[in-house]
Copies of this chain bind each other. A is one copy, B any other.
Amino acid sequence: MRLLSSRPVLFALQLLVAVAIIGIWHIGSTWKVPAGLISQKSFFLLDPFFFSTPVAVFERTWKDFATGVIWYHLGITLLETALAFAIGAAGGVVIGFWFARRRIVAAVFDPYVKMANALPRVVLAPIFALWLGLGIWSKVALGVSLVFFIVFFNVYQGVKEVSPTVLNNARMLGMSERQLLRHVYWPSALTWMFSSLHTSVGFALVGAVVGEYLGSAAGLGYRIHQAEGVFDVTGVFSGMLVLAVFVILIDAVVTVIENRLTVWRPTVPAGH
């Protein structure tokens, strides 16, 4: 157990998973199941028309980076993602706190927040474009509309989870509402918030990409859309690969901040 969780071993295991996935993908998309084995015709397990092949995808990705064409698009998408994440998370935190502390506000607006959360963003895209134009802001809005709700619900719950004794102690120590927020609610809701941030990093990116996909002139979503239009699955998968790698990087940053802000927690005893 202790051996298994050491850094290099862990990394090796992670690599193993990657190799396995890519291996399956490679075989499925390059080896034809001979005719008569399962069905009449010989066929691919993962038809390269829909799945491309890993070699082609890596080649394309490498080329995109080597020639540098992708940096511009990546930059735009990451900017949108970062903005969507920051604005959505900030909004979720602020409104979440506000709702949690003002019972009536929460009770009155509760159904409307839930309604808003259920609106399909894809349909709203034209309205975002109308209000915010075609620049990055309409994409940011789409990302915000995903991130906000995830963070909001978690912060709202996190604030309500504060230990009543600790809260009473804080009040008896004379804290004002603002000081309660800073010294009690905020640190107590932090774990909740970070849990939601891990989810919402991904959603911020999804929002940005889908926004680009629905209408734009640049960005990874735009590139994916272009590739889809000409059946260039390799291009589609290469775009998604780049997305996936970058979300890991952003998430790592979130984790570093999280560990910084939650040093005080007891380390949980290991499962086994």
Contact = CB atoms under 8 A, between A and B. Distances in A.
A97 to B, nearest CB: 11
Interface of A: 1, 4-5, 10, 13-14, 17-18, 21, 47, 50-51, 100-104, 107-109, 111-112, 114-123, 126-127, 130, 149-150, 153-154, 156-157, 160-162, 164, 167-168, 191-192, 194-196, 198-199, 201-203, 205-206, 209-210, 213, 221, 224, 228, 236, 240, 243-245, 247-248, 251, 266, 268-272
A5 B103 contact: yes
A21 B160 CA distance: 28
Contact of A120 (B117, B127, B210): B210
B103 A195 contact: no
Contacts of A248: 111, 114-115
Contacts of A13: 104, 107-108
A30 to B, nearest CB: 18
Identical subunits present? 2
Given A13-B108, A17-B108, A17-B109, 17 more contacts: A1-B104, A5-B104, A10-B108, A14-B108, A50-B126, A111-B248, A114-B248, A115-B245, A115-B248, A117-B203, A120-B224, A120-B243, A121-B206, A122-B210, A123-B213, A153-B198, A192-B195
B199 A117 contact: yes
A171 B244 CA distance: 39
Contacts of A196: 153-154
A205 B5 contact: no
A50 B107 CA distance: 30
Contacts of A121: 206
Contacts of A203: 117
Contacts of A109: 17
Contacts of A206: 118-121
Contacts of A245: 115
A133 to B, nearest CB: 14
